[in-house]
Chain A
Amino acid sequence: MSKLHVTTSVNGEPVEFLTDPGASMLDALRGPLGLTGTKEGCGTGDCGACSITVDGRLVCACLMLAVEAEGHEIATIEGMADGETLHPLQRKFLEMAALQCGICTPGMLISARALLQKNPDPSEEEVRFGLAGNLCRCTGYDKIVRAVMETAAEMRGAA
């Protein structure tokens, strides 16, 4: 079957690409778009390593067809920092050692940002349930939860 043409926006920039009809958004990001920051841990929506947002809504890119991006706003880890200025979550993850191997980190950061946009003042329990779709095997989650809560406090203070 011939490829389909998709026009979309990724991290605020207009993007066009060709895709097989059956390819996932994750395949499109990592393949033709060259955005390998979004990771594949399972391909079945169970690990959250491929978390992106579509029009601000948190999505596993592996569960979305690439053609579904047509006309929508996609945001990935590559667009999280503002040039050289890291997003507060990115900075706090580094300062608080909230990553070890780092493979879950892009998805974790995208999920955490989506959580804080909905809930700027989450309790520990709310953070834990908010990130329950993102597997991390290295950290035991402790420093991730603390980093997200500290970031939330900092962002509230700055707002």
Chain B
Amino acid sequence: MPAVVKGWRLLLTPTLSRHLGLALVAFILLLLLSSQIGAYDDYTLAAVAIFVIATAGLNLLTGVNGQLSLGHGALMAVGAYSTSLLLRGHDLPLILVLLLSLAGASLVGAVFGVAAARLRGPYLAGATLALAVGLPQIATRYSHVFGGEEGLTVPPPAAPSWLGADFPPERWMAWIAIAVALVTLVLLGNLLQSSVGRSFKAVRDHEAAAALAGINVARTQVVAFVVSSACAGLAGSLFAYWSGLTAPAGFGVALSLQLISAIVIGGLGSLSGAVWGSIVLVFVPNFTSGMASSLNLPSSVGNNLPLLIYGAVLVVAMLVVPYGIDGGLRRLLALARARWAGAATNHKGVVDWDDPAGS
């Protein structure tokens, strides 16, 4: 009985140790990688890790729970501004700043999530888009608090002294971002594999049936929104440390749309999809802007080329791998497995299911 076999495997390796083990291996590998590359690449690596946090949270909301948010850039802004304001004139420990920024974004997410739970499809998209457009305006309107268009500067996190005086700050930033991203992935992975993740999917797939199974649909949607906002806040906080500046221009509608496009390209509904999407999100523009500048194009073309190529990648990805990179890889894996299994069966000969023993 396949179900029981699965159950045994579950009992033998408890969820937490399995996920922590995976995260630990990834952490060690990424630290090794980070130590081998230059400061600029470390900076890029940190950006990928930060986007992984935001897109993983967004994928939980949009991919797993089915609530489309076009406003996650604004929730990142809440985290970034919380961090910038907390650090203005104070020197607070990083972990405290991260947690407070997470709490701030969760609070905004909870308020918005209650409204979102009443909205569906295009209405929810419109409302979240309004959040993306409107929230950064607050920073401009109340410039004496939020620094207006100029924004607020954020001191980079200081590397501990035991790492040596000439330890590159970019590397330290990358290590922090990687560690936070992995902790986030472990926690979200726990949720996804649990009954909480299954209720998220049930609500996404059929609300009435979910309600009849005893799931409070509205509450589940708010919970998903809060968890997702917490991730956005965490990413926003790290983003503030990473860029050294929090300004409204950094959190426009474009950021929100990039986050959505990242999970669509990477694969909706899975954490690995968020990782793939973040890699594309960071590396494709990096690569194309490098290409544009090396081609010596006029600035009107050169400035827009990365955007054009990003758009082209999005279109091609939708045509070639409609379920995202993650979906494409899974399909390849399934094909390979079927082929391998097919070869094995051919080797043994056809099994007669009415008489499997062959007597």
Determine if chain A interacts with chain B. Answer: no
